[in-house]
Amino acid sequence: MSLKPQLEAIIYAAETPITLEQIVQLVTGNGGVEGAADAGAVKSLTRAALEELAVEYGGPDHGIEVRQVAGGYRMSTKPEQHEVVRAFAKSLKPPIRLSLPALETLAVIAYKQPVTVPEISDIRGVDSGGVISTLLDRKLITTAGRKQVIGRPILYKTTREFLMRFGLQGVSELPSMEEFEKLVAESFQGELLPADSAAEESNAEQRQSSARFTEAEEDSSSSHEIAAQEIVAEDSIATIPEKKVG
C-alpha cells in the first residue's frame, strides 16, 4: 500500500497533532513501508512523504493544509478560508445528547422499522414509551402510519437526519449490530447522557420542585397564621368596653 495515502488518512483522523514517531509506529504495524530495510529508513521515507503532503496541500487548489503544530502534524483550514468556515460553523446544529435507553431504542427502530412502541418494549424488556418523544424531538425518528392490528398502534421509522448523523446513504447500508454499536460509540462520544445521570437529574429536579412547593406551603401557612392573629387582635380591641368619662 502506498505510504502517502496512509499518512493523509492518519493525519485527517487524528483529533490532536500526531507526531512523526507515532505515525512511524502506525505504518510499521500496518505492514511496513515498501523499500524500507530498517526503522531508520521507515522514518526517513515517512518524513519525506509528509513533506510532499504538506507541499501538495499548500497549493491554491486546497482549502486545508498539513501543518506542524506542537511537535506533531495536523490538518487545518487555511487562513483565507476562515470566514466561510466560521459562517458554516454558526449554521451547525448543537450536538445531540441521548441517554443510553434512547440509543437502545434508536437501534431497535433502525433494524426493525417500521415498528411500534409495544414491539420495541418487548425487544428491550422495558417500557420504551418515554424515550420515543426524545427521539422525535431530535428528528432521528418519525411516524410511519399505523399498524393494521387491534388498537392500530403508531409505527416509527428512522429519518434523513438519522442517515446524515451516521453517514449512511440508506437503511440498506446499516452495518451489523456489532459495527453499529461501535458507530454509535464514535458518533455520540462525549455526548451521551448516561441513564443514571439522567435519573439523578430528574430526581434533583423533583427534589427542587418539592422543596419549592414545601416553602410555598410554609409561606402560605405563615401568612394565614399572621392574618388569623391580626383578626383575633382586632376582635379583642373591638370588644373592650369604652370607659365613661364622669
pLDDT tens-digit map of 202-228: 454 445 444 444 444 445 444 445 444
| Beta strands, E only, the chain | 64-69, 72-77, 98-99, 115-116, 141-146, 154-158, 192-193
* Most confident of the following: 10-14, 42-46, 155-159, 215-219: 155-159
This prediction's pTM: 0.47
For residue 158, the model assigns a pLDDT of: 93
188 and 142 in a common domain: yes
- The answer, yes or no, to whether residue 159 has pLDDT greater than 70, is yes
What residue has cell string 409561606? 219
101 — phi, psi (to 5°)?
Answer: -60, -35
80 and 55 in a common domain: yes
Q: Residue 35 sits in which domain range?
A: 3-90
Q: What is the CATH number of the domain that holds 75?
A: 1.10.10.10
143 — phi, psi (to 5°)?
Answer: -80, 155
Domain finish residue from 177, 193, 209: 193
Query: Does the residue 109 lie in any domain?
Result: yes
Residue 108 CA to residue 126 CA, distance in Å, equals: 13
| 3-state SS, residue 92 | coil
Domain finish residue from 193, 209, 228: 193
Residue 122 CA to residue 115 CA, distance in Å, equals: 11
| Nearest-10 Cα torsion for 33, 39, 43, 45 | -40
